[in-house]
Amino acid sequence: MSEYKGSATVDPGSLAAGGGTASLVAPAGLAPRQAQAGGLLGSIGPVVRAVHGWTSTYFAAILLLMIAVGIALTGFQHGYTLMGEQIKNALVLGAIYALVAIGYTMVYGIIELINFAHGDVFTAAGFYAFAIASVLHLDGLATSSFGGLLLALIIVFPLSMIAAGLTGVVIEFVAYRRLRDSPRLAPLITAIGVSFLIEGIMLVVEGPDNVTTHQASWINGQAFTVAGVSVLYTDLFTIGMALFLMFALGAFVRRTRLGKAMRSTAQDRTAALLCGININRTISATFFIGSALAAAAAIIYSINYGVLKWNIGFHLGIIAFTAAVLGGIGNIVGAGVGGFLIGVIYVFGGSLFGGEWSESLIFAVLVLILTFRPVGLFGVEVTTRA
């Protein structure tokens, strides 16, 4: 157990970089353990190791090349209008993944826990928003006029974000706080338990079928057409809102005292404690912000697709987690970029191999990242000190 602590000590280089890119955690703890992994790789021979090392170094380039080839192939096969449509779809989907991925990356950065419940907080937040909209009769308001729409959005976004944020805080308080210092297996199993509990509650409350949320009717109309691709106001809103929230979060983490407290807690909890930072409050705040962003993503999802189901959060959560890993876990900017990249891979993988393979493709990408470059695209390779 003690090696985790040892390997998580901060590398000066990444610390310096961390300030600039709003990185929450030094990726040193995730570096491949070459000194030890000699068993399999060593027995097969240095060739494998060389190939592995090469792939690991140029992973980002290879991945981007593959994505570019995939996009181009789609263009050749199905025409460039469809390619444009797909790029638009990918960006919309990517925006949602990015917002969810940020929650994963922040929580992992600060307490090194895969919060499996995050995807289900996303679904729950979607249902909160639906409930708020139904109770306050916002559907009629939102479709009546532009001002009404703005008002509805201004009501529904903060309310559901706060509700989801509180859900996240409660989850952390009840399920994770007591296990913060126990071996890693314990909070991980608890996280799965929380995920199943939330899914079970939603299954009982909302039923096993798709729930139509009507929010797809909120924003209507086509904004403009680029090269035959019609861009809807919904698309603009989705991407704009996601980018706005991400930049706001970036500024928050970089500029405010709480953001600073988060970064320092992520880097070294003991040292942060010694500096007088209230660890518990900081971690609660992290959960609050992550869950609130998931709520925003859930409303955006509702506005785009108009349906929710009790278990959509599970797969969406794993895909978003893949995005977080792709960008380097703990790295907020990385999670944002990773989200968009995963969106592109999902959509174009679907159009090349057929939609039924999209999720398998994402999981395969996840396995490849963790095999070849566990520190993510933006992570700095650090020699291990295990």
Partner 1 sequence: MLERSRALFRVDAAASQRTQGNTVYWILASTASGLLLMGWLLPWFVNAYSAGVGFSPQDALISSPTGVGTFLIYILAVTMVILVLSTIVEPVARRMGRRFGPRVDRVRLIAALLGLALTAIIWFLVKVLAEEPLFGSLQPGTYTDSAVWLTMYGYAVAALVYGARRWVVARQTLAFGVAILPFGIFLPLMFHQAPDFLLWAAGSLAIYMLLALGLNVVVGFAGLLDLGYAAFFAIGAYACASFASPTHNIHLPLWVLIFLGAAIASMFGAVLGAPTLRLRGDYLAIVTLGFGEIIPDLATNNVFNLTGGPNGISGIDQPHYGFLDFSASPRWFYWALLLVSVAVIVLLRNIERARVGRAWVALREDEVAAASTGINTTTTKLLAFAIGASVSGLAGAFYGSIVSIVSPDDFSFSVSIAVLSIIVLGGIGNIAGVILGSFILTFVIFWVLPNMNEWSTTLSQTVHVPALAGIDFSSYTYIIYGAALILMMLLRPGGLLPSRARAIELESGGETESLAAVQGVA
Interface residues with partner 1 (CB under 8 A) are 1-5, 30, 32-33, 36-37, 39-40, 112-114, 175, 178-190, 192-201, 203-204, 208, 269-270, 273, 278-280, 314-315, 318, 321, 325, 354, 356-357, 359-360, 363-364, 366-367, 370-371, 374, 386
Provide the Cα torsion 242, 120, 341, 162; round to 10°: 20
Q: Give the CA-trace dihedral at 238, 241, 244, 248, to 10 degrees.
A: -130
Q: Minimum CB separation from partner 1 for residue 142, in Å? A: 32
Look at the alpha carbons of 235, 310, 344, 84 in this order and tell me if their dihedral is positive or negative. negative
Q: What is the spatial distance between Cα 353 and Cα 50, in angstroms, rounded to a whole number? A: 31
Instruction: Give the span between the Cα atoms of 231 and 3, in whole angstroms.
Output: 51
CB 238 to partner 1: min, Å = 26
For partner 1, which is the closer residue by CB, 219 or 366?
366
Query: Between 236 and 361, whose beta carbon lies closer to partner 1?
Result: 361
CB of 107 to partner 1, least distance (A): 11
Q: Between 218 and 287, name the residue whose CB sits nearer to partner 1.
A: 287
Q: How far is the CB of 140 from partner 1 (least distance, A)?
A: 31
What is the rounded distance in angstroms from the CA atom of residue 267 to the CA atom of residue 5? 11
Q: Which is nearer to partner 1, 37 or 65 (CB)?
A: 37
> Which of residues 57 and 270 has its CB atom nearest to partner 1 in the complex?
270
Determine contact, residues 290/172, Cβ cutoff 8 Å.
no
Cα dihedral 280, 286, 292, 297 in deg (nearest 10): -150
* In the complex, least distance from residue 204 CB atom to partner 1, rounded to whole angstroms: 6
Q: Is 67 helix (H, G, I), strand (E, B) or coil?
A: helix
C-alpha 233/C-alpha 220 separation (Å) is 7
Specify whether the CB–CB gap between 94 and 362 falls below 8 A.
no
- Please, what is the minimum distance in Å from the beta carbon of residue 84 to partner 1? 28
Closer Cβ to partner 1, 195 or 291, answer by number:
195
